[in-house]
Amino acid sequence: MDSSEVVPSLVVDKLEAGYGGMQVLWGVDVSVLPGEVVVLLGANGAGKTTLLKTIMGLLPNTGGSVSFDGNRLDAMRPDQRVRMGISFMSELGVFPGLSIEENLRVTGHGLSRKTVTQRLSEIWTQFPDLFARRRELAGSLSGGQRKILGVARTQFRKPRLIVMDEPSAGLSPLFVSQLVDRLIAIHAEQRMTLLLAEQNVRFLRLAERIVVIEGGRSRFDGSVEEFEQNENVKDAFFGIERMES
Ligand code: ATP
């Protein structure tokens, strides 16, 4: 894709944010083109969750800006950002105390009953494994299946941008690989526009571009090949991976 001709879906420009008086993001830049999968890599505490929460409006930005499809989001509430077509999957991803079907229905809040019914039937076709267990509590699902339900929830409103926070959290390596395979299959089918924060390198298989943040600052932005060739960034990142494994 020639990025000079395509208007980005999401533009995060010199973003600053934090908690109370504690600044965490120090001018982060990220953009996502329509139909592109950007994997945001960063070690524990690098500021990934803080960045995604600020994009969603769950935290205010203290500097810089967030734009989606050319509109500034800074003053919008989280629900307004969702209605504009952004879908967010937090690390938890689902409500364990609700059934699988209820988890999907609440995602359709504000849509007409007819649309919800239609979207549910489309989701059941796309995720037959969830349909089979639709009346069971989400809390009864395995960790891997919960993440699949979380992914299904992000699909429910046919978003134009999906933002996912560390979907590998709490999953065994086998489930992580299965989740990556599933996301690759969904992307091949319908070209998601996806910004996904991770520290698990298995997600590089899904990435079309990689952004690395470190200490709340942008450290790298490039293709997977450029990432692989950048020994400084790779060593810093894989060094952390090795220490943690
Ligand atoms: P992880 O993979 O561990 O979730 P992360 O890259 O998502 O890491 P953040 O959760 O954004 O990192 O945390 C960035 C910094 O902000 C850390 O120093 C963390 O301690 C701090 N922080 C996170 N949440 C809060 C909070 N609610 N209040 C105060 N500080 C916070």
126-145, pLDDT tens digit by residue? 999 999 999 999 999 999 99
Ligand 1 centroid to residue 47 C-alpha, Å: 6
Give, using CA atoms, the residue closest to atom 26 of ligand 1. Answer: 19
The DSSP-derived string for 33-69 is -TT-EEEEE--TTSSHHHHHHHHHTSS--SEEEEEET
Q: What is the CATH number of domain 3-95+144-237?
A: 3.40.50.300
State yes or no: pLDDT of 25 exceeds 50. Answer: yes
Residue 238: the pLDDT is 62
Residues in a beta bridge with 129: none
Q: What six digits make up the tokens of 145? A: 């299946």
42 lines ligand 1 (CB under 6 A): yes
232 lines ligand 1 (CB under 6 A): no
Residue 231: the pLDDT is 83
54-94, pLDDT tens digit by residue? 999 999 999 999 999 999 999 899 999 999 999 999 988 89
Residue 244: the pLDDT is 47
State yes or no: pLDDT of 216 exceeds 60. Answer: yes
Range of lowest pLDDT (40-49, 205-214, 223-232):
223-232
In this prediction, residues 39-55 reach a mean pLDDT of: 95
Ligand 1 atom closest to the CA of 216, numbered from 1: 14
Ligand 1 centroid to residue 137 C-alpha, Å: 30
Closest CA to 35 of 161, 164, 151, 126: 161
Give, using CA atoms, the residue closest to atom 25 of ligand 1. Answer: 19
156-173, pLDDT tens digit by residue? 999 999 999 999 998 989
Cα gap 150→172, rounded to integer Å: 17
24 lines ligand 1 (CB under 6 A): yes
For ligand 1, pick from 15, 16, 24 the residue to mutate: most ligand atoms within 8 Å of CB: 24
84 touches 157 (CB < 8 A)? no
Query: What confidence tier does 237 reach under pLDDT thresholds 50, 70, 90?
Result: low
Task: Using a cut of 0.85, tell me whether the model's pTM lies above it.
Answer: yes
179 touches 167 (CB < 8 A)? yes
Strands across the sheet containing 22-32:
22-32, 10-19, 63-68, 71-72
Ligand 1 centroid to residue 60 C-alpha, Å: 15
The domain segmentation of the chain, as residue ranges, is 3-95+144-237
Residue 245: the pLDDT is 44
